[in-house]
Amino acid sequence: MNIGEALRWARQQLSGNPHGAVDSEHLLCHVLQSPPLRLITDPGQQLSTQQEQQFALLISQRQQGVPVAYLTGTRGFWSLELEVNQHSLIPRPDTELLVSLALEKISAAMRIADLGTGSGAIALALVAERKDIRVVATDYSAKALQLAQSNARQNKLPVQFVRGQWLEAFQAESLDMIVSNPPYIRADDPHLLHGDLRFEPLSALVSGVDGLDDIRQIVRQAATVLRPSGWLMIEHGYEQSAAVQALFSQHDFTDIQPFQDYGQQDRVVIGRRHS
C-alpha cells in the first residue's frame, strides 16, 4: 500500500467513528514518523511491509476503542509533548484552563503542589512558564509518578515528586497554592462504559457515590496546609460546581469563583484560604 491507499483503507475501517479520518491520519503519521503534510504531498509513497503491519495493528486496536494517545504513547498539553500510558489519565485540553488560572495568580518564589499529577501535565506546564516557582507533584500511584518523572526529564523541567495520598505528605501552612484535577466521576456513571474512559485507570476517574469523595478530602486538608490567603484550584465535573463551591465555603475559603471550560461547561472552582 502507498500512503493514499493506506489512508482510504483506514478511514473505511474506522467509518463508524466520527473521528475516524483524523485518527487514521494521526496513526499513519506515527507509523511513518512524519508530519501531516507528507500525507498530502506524497500520497504515492509506498509503506514498507513492517509499516503496513504496524499500521494495520494500530487501526485494529483503535477499532476496539483503545485511545489514540495510548497507541502513539504521546499527547500534547500546553506547550509540551508528554509521554502517556495506561497508568495515568490522558491530558485533556479542558485541563489547560486550570493551568491558565494558576498562572494568573502565581508570583515569584511560590511553593505549589499539583495533587494527583498523573502524567505530570499540570505541574510541568506551570514550571515551563514560571522558572521562579517550586512545584511539588504528588500521586498515590507509583507507576504514574514514574511516568511523570520521565516527562520531567524529557522536558528538562525541575519538579519535585512525592508519593502520597493528596496532602498527607505536607505540613501545616507550607504551600502557597494547590492545584488538582482529582477523580470526580460517580461510581455508577454510564460514561465509564464508553469511549476513552473504558481504558483509563478507574482510580484516577471514580470518587465515590457522588464523585466528590476526593474533592472533600482535598478541600478539608487544604484549609490547613495552605498558608493564609493561599489559593486552592480544583477541576471538577460539569454538574458539580455548586457542590464544590459549597465545600469551599464550609471550610472558610474566600474569593470563591467558578470558571467554565472552552466548551462553556462548569469546570474549575478556585478560592483562597482565609487570612
Question: Residues of CATH 3.40.50.150 domain(s) within the chain?
Answer: 86-273
Per-residue pLDDT tens digits for 151-168: 999 999 999 999 999 999
The mean of the pLDDT values for the chain is 96
Task: Reply yes or no on whether the pLDDT at 191 is more than 90.
Answer: no
- Options 3.40.50.150, 3.30.1490.20, 3.40.50.300, 3.30.565.10; CATH of 86-273: 3.40.50.150
In the CATH hierarchy, which fold is given to the domain comprising 3-64? Helicase, Ruva Protein; domain 3 (1.10.8)
The rounded percent of the chain whose pLDDT value lies above 70 is 100
pLDDT band at 195 (very low <50, low <70, confident <90, very high): confident
Task: Reply yes or no on whether the pLDDT at 209 is more than 90.
Answer: yes
Task: Reply yes or no on whether the pLDDT at 267 is more than 90.
Answer: yes
Write down the pLDDT at residue 275: 85
DSSP class per residue in 236-254: --TT-HHHHHHHHHHTTEE
Report which of 58, 78, 56, 80 is spatially closest to residue 67, judged by C-alpha positions. 58
Per-residue pLDDT tens digits for 111-140: 999 999 999 999 999 999 999 999 999 999
Distances (CA, A) of 126 to 27, 176, 217, 267, 269: 29, 14, 24, 19, 18
Question: Residues of CATH 1.10.8 domain(s) within the chain?
Answer: 3-64
Write down the pLDDT at residue 234: 98
- Number of Cβ atoms within 10 Å of the Cβ of 254: 12
* Alpha-carbon gap, residue 90 to 205, rounded angstroms: 11
pLDDT band at 194 (very low <50, low <70, confident <90, very high): confident
